[in-house]
Structures are given as C-alpha cells and as structure tokens.
Amino acid sequence: MADISDEVKRETDGEEDSGDESKDDGGIEDPEGRTVKIRDSDIDVDLTHCRLRALPDGIGGLYQVQVLCLRQNLISDLSMISDLVTLTELDVYDNELKEIANLDKLTNLTFLDLSFNHIRLIEGISTLTNLTDLYLINNKLTLMDGLQTLTNLTLLELGSNRLRVIQGLECLVNLEKLFLGKNKITKIENLQCLTKLRQLSLQGNRIKVIEGLESLCNLEELYLSENNISEITGLENQAKLTILDLAHNKIGRLSNISHLTVLEDLWFNANQVSDWKEVNNISPLKVLSTVYFEHNPIAKDPQYRRKLKLTVPSLTQIDATMIR
C-alpha cells in the first residue's frame, strides 16, 4: 500500500518542502509545528487541529484503521471516508458539517462524535446499529427523530440544541446515560421505556414540574438545575439516586426526598429555602456527604455551616468548601 502522508501534507499546507529531515517522510504540520504522519497501515489516526478543510483522496486507503479523530478542523464533507468499514470510533467534533452523510457503510462504529457542527437533522445513521456512544452536542437539532434503530446505544448526548420535546427514544431500551441539557424542553415525558437509565441530565431547560420518571427506578444521577421548578415531586421511585441536582430553580421546601437514603450529593444552591426547619428533612440521609445551599436565604445565617453540619453529621463538604 502507498503511504498517503505526502497527499495529506499537500492538502493542508500547500507549502514546498523546506528540506527539514522531519518532513522528508511526509506528514502534516499542526499549528504548534508538530508533524503528524499517516500510513495506510495505521490503526489509530489522530488529525486533531490540523487546519484541514478537506480530506485527501488517499485517506480511503486506510485499510485497517479503527480509530479516526478529526477534531477541530474545517471539514464539511466526509465522503472520502465512506468506505473505511473497519472504523469503530469516529470523532468529527468541531468542524463544518451541515448534514450527516456518507456514514451508512461504517456499520462497525461503536463511538460517533459529531458535536459542534451545524447539523439540523439526525439522519443517515440508521444502519449504524452497533453504536453505543453518540454525541451531537451543540448543533441545530429541533427533533429527536432518526434514532429508532440504534438499540445498542448506552450513551446519547444531545445537549445545547433546539429541542423542545422528548420523543423518538422508545426503542433505545439499553440507554444508560441521556444528556439533554441546554435545550428548550418544557416537559419530562416519553422516557418510560428507558428502564436501564442511570444518568439523566435536563439542565438549562424550561421544565416546571418533576414528572415522568416513574419507570426509571435505576436512576443514580439526576440533573435538573436551571429550570423553573418550584416544588420537589415525582421522585418516589428514585431510591437509587446518589446525585440530585436542583440548583438554580425556585424551590422553597426540601420535601419528598427523605426516602433517598443512598443520596450522597445534593446540589440546591440558588433556590428559595428560608426556613431552617426544611433542612431537617434531609437529616435522615445518613450517607449525604456534599450539599450546596449557597444563594438561598438560609445561607445568610452567620451559623449557616455549623447548623448544616449539626443537622447532617455525615457532611464532608458544604458548598465548595471541605469541612475541616
């Protein structure tokens, strides 16, 4: 097989060879002056931040590549890698993609990161049924369609998009981690089939009520900060929670959480707790080690830290400060 290094170098640099021995064998030079060499026998290829605007024709000759990282470039077309069927991991984070295309043959992929692009639709990946990890952070998605066949997914990250409704996830029965933060979601719904879910993030949305979690009995981490929640409800079946994030809401009472006996972290900063009697509701939480209550009215009390420690002796950290 021919070495494709020279071709990659011409594609990115467009400069004449300087005579430097380190460049005689071909390769591309990253912004820090390091030369990256590629040979078509490579298994792991990393072209992070190499100023690539397009991929060279010869990249299709990577006949046994398994991991290809194209992070932080300017790539808008993936057609040159459409036949790299040995790929198991593809990372195209922070590029210029406007659509998901030319990936349908890459059926061995288990990891795919298309975050920080300009993608508007989830399409062209229905054949990638071996995927376990899919990242589409910070695109322009408005719908969760196109995921129905990806039943082996265990992690799905759709944060920082334009999603308004949770939908289209019913078939993702193996999902363990779901991240939907920084969207425009108003209601927690359509999650009843995700019974293996352990982490759920809905931070920075427009949710007013904690609901729709009845079947998520395996949840260990729940992130609901920066919403419009005024009351703690809907956590009756979440006895396995170890982390509960309700920071930056409008909650004044610490009700309906005394049954969360394995809870270790409670993030409740920037809420409206003004009565110390409410803090007594977390005294049954015997393994609670970290709490955040700063920017609540009770935090203005000169004895704030002392009272919290007396109420919950298991605490080792209050806000960002460890207890001595």
- Here the CATH number for the domain that contains residue 146 is 3.80.10.10
Round to whole Å and give the CA distance between 197 and 2. Answer: 46
Is 136 in the same domain as 149?
Answer: no
Phi, psi of 290 (to 5 degrees): -130, 130
Residue 247 lies in a domain: no
SS3 7: helix
Residue 282 corresponds to which amino acid? I
Q: Taking the CB of residue 320, how many other CB atoms lie within 10 A of it?
A: 9
Q: Provide the pLDDT confidence category of residue 8 given band limits of 50, 70 and 90.
A: low
pLDDT reported for residue 17 = 41
Residue 267 lies in a domain: yes
The answer, as to whether pTM is greater than 0.85, is yes
Round to whole Å and give the CA distance between 322 and 324. Answer: 6
Residue that finishes a domain, picked among 181, 205, 240 = 240
Is 136 in the same domain as 16?
Answer: yes
Q: What is the pLDDT of residues 163-195, one digit of tens each?
A: 999 999 999 999 999 999 999 999 999 999 999
pLDDT reported for residue 36 = 74
Q: Provide the pLDDT confidence category of residue 25 given band limits of 50, 70 and 90.
A: very low
Is 215 in the same domain as 126?
Answer: no
Q: Which among 260, 276, 265, 184 is positioned nearest to 226, based on CA atoms?
A: 184
195 neighbors 173 (Cβ within 8 angstroms): yes
Q: What is the pLDDT of residues 283-324, one digit of tens each?
A: 999 999 999 999 999 999 999 999 999 999 999 999 999 998
308 neighbors 279 (Cβ within 8 angstroms): yes
Is 2 in the same domain as 120?
Answer: yes
Residue that finishes a domain, picked among 186, 219, 240 = 240
Q: What is the pLDDT of residues 94-139, one digit of tens each?
A: 999 999 999 999 999 999 999 999 999 999 999 999 999 999 999 9
How far from 111 is each of 62, 91, 294, CA to CA, in Å? 18, 8, 39
Round to whole Å and give the CA distance between 141 and 120. Answer: 5
Query: Residue 62: pLDDT above 80?
Result: yes
pLDDT reported for residue 34 = 65
Q: Provide the pLDDT confidence category of residue 16 given band limits of 50, 70 and 90.
A: very low
In this structure, of 7-11, 82-86, 249-253, the range with the lowest mean pLDDT score is: 7-11
Is 129 in the same domain as 57?
Answer: yes
Domain range enclosing 265: 252-324
In this structure, of 9-13, 66-70, 301-305, the range with the lowest mean pLDDT score is: 9-13
Q: Enumerate the β-bridge partners of residue 89.
A: 67, 111
pLDDT reported for residue 107 = 98
pLDDT reported for residue 58 = 76
Q: What is the pLDDT of residues 73-100, one digit of tens each?
A: 999 999 999 999 999 999 999 999 999 9
pLDDT reported for residue 303 = 97
pLDDT reported for residue 4 = 52
Q: Which residue has the higher pLDDT, 2 or 184?
A: 184
Instruction: Report angle CA 32, 136, 113 to the nearest 5 degrees.
Output: 50
Residue 81 lies in a domain: yes
Phi, psi of 147 (to 5 degrees): -110, -5
In this structure, of 55-69, 265-279, 306-320, the range with the lowest mean pLDDT score is: 55-69
Number of domains into which the chain is organized: 3
115 CA to centre of own chain: 9
Is 27 in the same domain as 147?
Answer: no
119 neighbors 142 (Cβ within 8 angstroms): no
Q: What is the pLDDT of residues 185-222, one digit of tens each?
A: 999 999 999 999 999 999 999 999 999 999 999 999 99
